[in-house]
């Protein structure tokens, strides 16, 4: 394994959607609430949007359905999208009833919309979910917290590079994913 592949694998594993959502949504919850009381809501949002889907993928991997967490065959992705839609939708309902910070609730709606768009595109063309999630989180933090978060698009570029270096996606697929994540997040939050 070359140094480039090892580095790309490390980047894609560290910045996978589950981890990006855990860090990003916790920060978003804090920013949306204006203090640390938003952290539990952010962690709950990350549980619904990132941890539950990742756990489902791990469960299917153990059953032998998929070879790894990347599910590179776009034909196998529909069940994952349905789990994400259900988990994010149910999480948003709990957040609404529990009076979570409004911006965090809107972010959940944005992620639900992003997932619908990803699922639609995926039905005809493979698109990078990792790039979409990274871009969506950075955009949400920039809108809710501070425009300075746009500098974190360097992290999005690293995610895109890693997906291309590992030959999971093409340049077009990562750029499309990043654009879709940024657009759906900003459309709902603004």
The model's pLDDT over 21-34, given as tens digits with 9 standing for 90+, comes to 999 999 999 999 99
Question: What was the pLDDT predicted at 66?
Answer: 80
Helix axes 102-122, 17-33, angle to 10 degrees: 150
Question: What was the pLDDT predicted at 67?
Answer: 76
pLDDT digits (tens, 9 = 90+) for 99-123: 999 999 999 999 999 999 999 999 9
Query: pLDDT grade, residue 145 (50/70/90)?
Result: confident
DSSP H helical segments within 98-128, as ranges?
Answer: 102-122
Report pTM: 0.94
Whether the pLDDT of residue 81 is over 70: the answer is yes
Report, as an integer, the average pLDDT of 32-40.
Answer: 93
pLDDT digits (tens, 9 = 90+) for 164-179: 999 999 999 999 999 9
Report, as an integer, the average pLDDT of 76-87.
Answer: 94
Report, as an integer, the average pLDDT of 66-93.
Answer: 90
Domains of the chain by residue range: 3-189
Other beta carbons within 10 angstroms of residue 89's beta carbon come to 16
Q: Are 40 and 68 in contact (CB under 8 A)?
A: no
């Amino acid at each position: 394994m070359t140094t480039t592949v090892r580095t790309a694998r490390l980047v894609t594993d560290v910045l996978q959607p589950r981890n990006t959502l855990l860090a990003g949504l916790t920060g978003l919850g804090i920013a949306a609430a204006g203090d640390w009381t938003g952290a539990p809501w952010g962690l709950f949002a990350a549980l619904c949007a990132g941890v539950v889907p990742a756990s489902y993928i791990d469960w299917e991997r153990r059953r032998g359905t998929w070879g790894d967490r990347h599910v590179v065959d776009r034909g196998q992705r529909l069940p994952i999208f349905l789990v994400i839609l259900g988990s994010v939708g149910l999480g948003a309902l709990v957040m609404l009833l529990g009076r979570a910070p409004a911006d965090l609730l809107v972010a959940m709606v944005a992620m639900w919309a992003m997932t619908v768009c990803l699922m639609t595109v995926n039905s005809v063309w493979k698109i990078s979910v990792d790039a979409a999630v990274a871009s969506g989180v950075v955009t949400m933090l920039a809108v809710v917290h501070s425009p300075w978060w746009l500098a974190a698009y360097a992290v999005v570029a690293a995610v895109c590079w890693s997906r291309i270096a590992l030959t999971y996606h093409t340049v077009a697929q990562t750029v499309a994913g990043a654009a879709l994540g940024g657009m759906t997040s900003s459309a709902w939050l603004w």
